[in-house]
Structures are given as C-alpha cells and as structure tokens.
Amino acid sequence: MKQGYDNAVSIFDAHAANPFIPLVLELDLRTLSQLTFAIETLERIVFEKCSLGHRGLAALVSVKDATDDLKLSIDLRNNLISDLKNKSSARTEAEKIHLYVGAYANGSVDLSFGQNMEALLHQADDCIFFSMLLADELLARERKLHARNWWKYRLNVPLQHPADWSLARQDDLIPDKSKYANWLQGFKRPPSIWKRLWDRFCVWYWRRSPTLTIAISRPRG
C-alpha cells in the first residue's frame, strides 16, 4: 500500500514538472478493517501469571501503545477515504487528486493522506517488532523455569518451541532491528555474579598493591 502511494505521488510530481506528460493515476481508496486484539487478556496474563524482566514488560507496554495508535490511524484513513468518496462533496476530480497526493490546490495543501500512510507503516512495524520481542522474552522465561524446575516435570512436559518467522522474513515483512537500536540499548544485560566478584577483586588487588601498579606502568629504562 505504501509503495503504491509513493508511486502515485511520483507520477503526479512528474506530471506537475512537465504538464505535457499525460496524468494516468489510480488512487488507492481501499478502507482497512479495524484490528481485533485481546490486549487486555495479554496484559493480565503477563502481569499476573508471568515474571518477566524489565525488557519484557516494556515490550508489552510498547505493543499496547503501537496497537492503540494503529487503530486510530486506521480510523483516520477510513474517514479520509469516506470523505473523498462522498458524492455530495463539491470537490472536482482534480481537487481530489491534489488532496490524495498532498499537492497545493487553491492556495493550500493538505498532507493528511501522506502523513497517515507514514503513520500506518511505522505503527505496523512497531506492532510486529515488539510482538516478536515479547514472544522471545516469554519463551526465554519458559525455558528458564523449565530448567530450574526440571524435577517437577517428571511427566515430560514438552518444551515450547520458538515461532517460525521464516515466511515473514522472505516477504520482507519484519522491520530492521537497527531501527530500534536506541530502544534496545536501554536494556543491557547485567553482569553475572562472577563478573561482579572479579571486578571487586581487581579493585581490591590494585589498591593493596600500589608498588606493583607503579612497577607495571613504569617502563624499564
């Protein structure tokens, strides 16, 4: 949908730059079905039944925010399409095209269609990325609980398996992880207990051995 809209804008820009080029433009006036997402049930399960870390809880909140924003953008697009299709409207076909591509008409410009398309794209990417991240966090938590309580599962309770995203990756539906690098940097893995003990030992050792420190840092003459 986004690619088709960008192509329509490019065709209009080419016609505006050279009016001798015939304007053959097909407007995508399809409405979108509203989402049905049981976010309340998911929140209740995660908050009450699971013990996720900070990153998992933040991913859940991000899924909810992205889903709510996407629903609003879908409603806005459907309203824009309905207004554009309104037969009682006094707009000419040329004015409808200008409104669709966000071009100047009668001394003003309306960028609602273009901005809505950008919002739909980014919010859909957010829903996909944070949902995948939440699924990974839930799977990691399940594996940790299974390993910690293996003696309770004498009846061979099967392990959960990770979701297969291969088809989605082939169709290029999964957003690039680098787009969320800043978000991911806020959840660095804490050092292990052995790393913390080693760091404390190094600090203690160098404080107790200033002579050795000087000898090592000073080159032999």
pLDDT of residue 214: 46
pLDDT of residue 74: 95
Are the C-beta atoms of 85 and 96 separated by less than 8 Å?
A: no
* CA dist., res. 124 & res. 128, Å (int): 6
Taking the chain (221 residues) in runs of 10, the rounded mean pLDDT of each run is 88 87 85 87 83 85 93 94 80 85 84 93 94 89 76 65 86 89 78 73 68 48 46
Domain definitions of the chain by residue range: 2-189, 192-221
pLDDT of residue 116: 94
Give this prediction's pTM: 0.76
b vs e for 35-62, b when ≥16 Cβ sit within 10 Å of the residue's Cβ? eebeeeebeeebeeeeebeebbbbbbeb
pLDDT of residue 221: 46
pLDDT of residue 194: 74
Q: Is 82 strand, coil or helix? A: helix
pLDDT of residue 88: 63
* CA dist., res. 13 & res. 198, Å (int): 63
pLDDT of residue 31: 92
Q: Is 189 strand, coil or helix? A: coil
Dig out the tokens for 24 from the structure.
């053959």
* CA dist., res. 44 & res. 51, Å (int): 12
HSE-up (13 A, CA, CB side) for residue 213? 9
Contacts of 152 (CB under 8 A, 6+ apart): none
Dig out the tokens for 21 from the structure.
């080029």
Hey, what long-range contacts does 5-14 have (CB within 8 A, 24 or more apart)? 5/113, 5/114, 5/117, 8/100, 8/101, 9/101, 9/102, 9/114, 12/97, 12/101, 12/103
Dig out the tokens for 25 from the structure.
């433009």
Q: Is 156 strand, coil or helix? A: coil
Dig out the tokens for 1 from the structure.
């949908």
Name the phi and psi angles at 162, rounded to 5. Answer: -65, 150
pLDDT of residue 151: 65
Tokens 């209740």, residue located? 44
